[in-house]
Amino acid sequence: MKLRTYSCYELKKGDSLVCENCGFELTVVKECNLSCLTEGCCDLTEFVCCGEQMKIKREE
């Protein structure tokens, strides 16, 4: 099963990435300005903790 990956430009201010194993959490405090789409600086699409992909948690 392929897990959904997120590029930095898809993450919005207030979104969090959470590890379901240990509870470690990363929260977006500043959104990407989309320059990565042309500059290629944001190739990372997988955020991993405890050997598993972190899950996104969105503020609603």
Q: Which residue has the higher pLDDT, 58 or 36?
A: 58
The pLDDT value recorded for residue 24 is 96
The pLDDT value recorded for residue 1 is 35
Q: Which residue has the higher pLDDT, 37 or 58?
A: 58
The pLDDT value recorded for residue 2 is 44
pLDDT tens, residue by residue, 2-57:
446 677 777 888 988 899 999 999 999 988 777 766 766 666 667 889 999 888 88
Q: How far is C-alpha 11 from the geometric centre of its chain's CA atoms?
A: 6
Checking 9-15 for CB contacts under 8 A at 24+ apart, the result is 9/34, 9/36, 9/37, 9/42, 11/56, 12/58, 14/58, 14/59, 15/56, 15/57, 15/58, 15/59
